[in-house]
Chain A
Amino acid sequence: MRLGIPWGAGNDSPLRRAWQGALAGGRRLLRNRQVSPMSRGQSVRTGVYLLLVTLFVGGLQVAPAPAVQVGPPRTVVTVNPKMGVHTRLTDEVEEWKIQRTLEMVREMGAPWDVEYFPWGYYEPKKGQYDWGHADTVVNHAVAQGLTVIGRIDYVPEWARPPRTTFRYLDEAHFADLGDFVYAFVSHFRGRVPYIVIWNEPNLSMEWGQRPVDPAAYVRLLRICYQRAKEADPSVHVVAAGLAPTTEPPGSEWGMDDLVYLQRMYDAGAKGTFDAMAIHAYGWTFPPDDPPSPDTVNFARAELIHQVMVKNGDGDKPCLITEGGWNDHPRWTRAVKPAQRIVYTIRAYQKALEEWDWCKAVALWAFRFPWPQGTYQDYFSFVAVDFTPRPIYLEVQRYARGEVTAQEEAAP
């Protein structure tokens, strides 16, 4: 932010007039050596007052901030090309903060960035697109050498009935999301190579507070897939990450993710996506805790992949687009901060060394634009004011191939 005296475009701007008045007062003082002491004093006061007013008003007015330069293309340096994070730039207003966030992602050594692109923000009226903010985010991410995975959902008001949530999309408007996907992929061709259609549709809340419907989601995915490929055949269409949950049959809250994925295949999902998104939260379990259908842990990702293998889709890649651990001191699903660091680094290692079907591990959530005031803050790697949390520094050391604190601390 730069403070200055913005004169404005015209010759008669108030500031210009004030400044000229101050100058005139000074000139009168110099010129009128013969004037009475009283007149000279008034001139001095006038000049000084106007000068002070000019400086004060000028100081109050903030000059337009200089445009943030996207900068030359950078490259992520890392020992683990699968490392990634989920950023939260959707509601970040200031461009320098967007840039700084993405710089810090690169500096941490993570080449993958998942970001949310709400349909309702960018198509406020049918067929009327506003890509301004999305362009800013994507351009900076690309300049930092990051591969962007764009998550698309959030139904605009015009595409849903009154008194429904922004997660509600009925069949009559599936084509509208398809149109948006076409426009998005066309606009970001070559810049956003992966798009995720929807988020956790196996939860009632995420499906518009309705019973979840895998077959309906597959119909939506098919439309979006076709429209995306029409716009850019090279774009990767990613099926939504499912909420890892062991909800029993008939639950009003949602459906077990493994069951949901099988129901998707039963409904003809094969051929409607190029990659599968996975949400892999570890809760209180370490990353090497073995997977089990009745347990939610990081390795549950393997079970999602097994469902794909069982349905002849084993050659499709998976992308972990959310996941990780939380170190809130009071949350029941949190771990100790030291555990979080060890588990996080091990999770990145595990994907690199053991999961050849997993292309990226983008953990939740790099930084929030403002404090959430909840356990969510303790998923972050970087504080709101950009102070790196210790986990950021340790992951960075890992990505640089340095000895990490956990290795130093090991007996």
Chain B
Amino acid sequence: MRVSSRRWWPLAAGALVLSAAALLWVRAHGVPGASRDETWTRIQREGVLRVAMDASYPPFDIEENGTFRGYDVDLAQEIGRRLGLKVTFVNVGFDSLYDALQAGRCDVIISALPYDRQRTTVAAFTGGYFNAGQVMVTRQDDTRVQREADLAGRRVAVEMGSQAHAEALRLRDRVGVALQIATARSSDEALEMVRAGRADAAIVDGIAARMALRAQAGLAIRGEPLTDESFVIAVRQGSPGLFAAVKGTLDALRGEGWLEKLAEQWL
């Protein structure tokens, strides 16, 4: 059966009008379901945002004598301040963070938490706020390495067995970058090999790289991160109001360059 093209136009026009009406309604009334977000309603009523973190991961999450500090603590406090909420912290082991969220022991997780696709049925994730992915580091005076292909023919130091080691193997064996892998016992040792001229470059995670650069001069991060291991904030599924508030605040902080300043402060 052939449908005349003339008969499509009324249908298409109708769909367009309906879509526009739906968009206007959402703009006027907010996200559907947000008003039924009991978590967000309670948070607004009590004025308290409960943040779960595994406070054993400096410089992001630190707890000493009942006092929390670190990158994530400052981030949570700033989000709370902008939302007009007091922030309290719940210290939970890393593998129990999602359980705490599901059980209602906390409202959000801010804990150097990597995005986990498998958890999307129980948690909604914001965009990343810090990429801890693997980066290339060379001596400050050596600008030859700017992208992964530039590692070809060079001696690259990695912490044995680490994600950096796995990335170096991937580049060598799957991408075909003919680099020479030199293993070290730690990220610090790998970076020291670069400083001492025993390696042309190192691959280390973004945290180790920034900490090393902070502690000693003479090294530089080169190019874009090789991997994306971004930290995100998790909110329990079914809390669209809370999610929109947290995500919106985080987006604003990113847009203002506030997150980068925070990273410079702690890393």
Contacts of B169 in A (CB 8 A): 390, 393
Contacts of B261 in A (CB 8 A): none
Contacts of B34 in A (CB 8 A): none
Contacts of A330 in B (CB 8 A): 54, 56-57, 94
Contacts of A373 in B (CB 8 A): 116, 118-119
Interface 0/1 of B170-185, CB less than 8 Å to A = 1000000000001111
Establish whether residues A331 and B95, one from each chain, have CB atoms under 8 Å apart when the complex forms. yes
Tell yes or no: B165 within 8 A of A by CB. Answer: yes
Name A390's contact: one of B56, B119, B161, B186 (CB within 8 Å): B161
Minimum Cβ distance to chain A for residue B179 (Å): 15
Q: Name A408's closest neighbour in chain B (CB-CB).
A: B183
Residues of B51-82 at the interface with A, using a CB-CB cut-off of 8 Å, are 54, 56-57
Establish whether residues B56 and A371, one from each chain, have CB atoms under 8 Å apart when the complex forms. no
Main secondary structure of the interface of B (DSSP, over half): mixed
Establish whether residues A338 and B161, one from each chain, have CB atoms under 8 Å apart when the complex forms. yes
Minimum Cβ distance to chain B for residue A389 (Å): 6
Instruction: Please report the C-alpha to C-alpha distance between residue A393 and residue B133 in the assembled complex, in whole angstroms.
Output: 22
Most buried by A among B54, B160, B165: B160
Contacts of A24 in B (CB 8 A): none
Establish whether residues B95 and A336, one from each chain, have CB atoms under 8 Å apart when the complex forms. no
Establish whether residues A337 and B183, one from each chain, have CB atoms under 8 Å apart when the complex forms. no
Contacts of B119 in A (CB 8 A): 373
29 A-B residue pairs with Cβ-Cβ distance under 8 Å, sorted by A, are A330-B54, A330-B56, A330-B57, A331-B94, A336-B159, A337-B159, A337-B160, A337-B161, A337-B162, A338-B183, A338-B184, A338-B186, A341-B160, A341-B161, A373-B116, A373-B118, A373-B119, A375-B95, A387-B166, A389-B161, A390-B161, A390-B165, A390-B166, A391-B161, A394-B160, A394-B161, A406-B160, A409-B160, A409-B184
Instruction: Please report the C-alpha to C-alpha distance between residue A408 and residue B184 in the assembled complex, in whole angstroms.
Output: 9
Q: B-side interface residues toward A, CB under 8 Å?
A: 54, 56-57, 93-95, 116, 118-119, 159-162, 165-166, 169-170, 182-186
The count of residues in chain A whose C-beta lies closer than 8 Å to any C-beta of chain B is 24
Name A405's contact: one of B94, B160, B166 (CB within 8 Å): B160
Contacts of A375 in B (CB 8 A): 94-95
Tell yes or no: A327 within 8 A of B by CB. Answer: yes
Establish whether residues B165 and A374, one from each chain, have CB atoms under 8 Å apart when the complex forms. no
Main secondary structure of the interface of A (DSSP, over half): helix
Instruction: Please report the C-alpha to C-alpha distance between residue A75 and residue B237 in the assembled complex, in whole angstroms.
Output: 51
Tell yes or no: A340 within 8 A of B by CB. Answer: yes
The list of the 8 closest CB pairs from A to B, nearest first, reads A337-B161, A338-B160, A330-B94, A405-B183, A390-B165, A390-B161, A337-B162, A341-B161
Instruction: Please report the C-alpha to C-alpha distance between residue A227 and residue B171 in the assembled complex, in whole angstroms.
Output: 54
Instruction: Please report the C-alpha to C-alpha distance between residue A332 and residue B162 in the assembled complex, in whole angstroms.
Output: 17
Most buried by B among A330, A389, A405, A409: A330
Establish whether residues B56 and A338, one from each chain, have CB atoms under 8 Å apart when the complex forms. no
Instruction: Please report the C-alpha to C-alpha distance between residue A337 and residue B182 in the assembled complex, in whole angstroms.
Output: 15
Instruction: Please report the C-alpha to C-alpha distance between residue A390 and residue B172 in the assembled complex, in whole angstroms.
Output: 13
Known: A331-B94, A375-B95, A405-B183. A338 touches B166 (CB 8 A): no
Q: Name A375's closest neighbour in chain B (CB-CB).
A: B95
Q: With A331-B94, A338-B161 given, can you name 5 additional A-B contacts, CB distance below 8 Å?
A: A338-B184, A373-B119, A390-B169, A405-B183, A406-B183
Establish whether residues A390 and B160, one from each chain, have CB atoms under 8 Å apart when the complex forms. yes
Residues of A327-374 at the interface with B, using a CB-CB cut-off of 8 Å, are 327, 330-332, 336-338, 340-341, 370-371, 373-374
Interface 0/1 of A204-236, CB less than 8 Å to B = 000000000000000000000000000000000
Contacts of A389 in B (CB 8 A): 161, 166
Interface 0/1 of A375-411, CB less than 8 Å to B = 1000000000001011101100000000001101100
Instruction: Please report the C-alpha to C-alpha distance between residue A327 and residue B162 in the assembled complex, in whole angstroms.
Output: 9
Minimum Cβ distance to chain B for residue A385 (Å): 11
Instruction: Please report the C-alpha to C-alpha distance between residue A330 and residue B165 in the assembled complex, in whole angstroms.
Output: 18
Contacts of B165 in A (CB 8 A): 337, 390
Establish whether residues B186 and A336, one from each chain, have CB atoms under 8 Å apart when the complex forms. yes
Known: A332-B56, A408-B183. A374 touches B95 (CB 8 A): yes
Q: Name B168's closest neighbour in chain A (CB-CB).
A: A390
Known: A330-B54, A389-B166. A338 touches B116 (CB 8 A): no
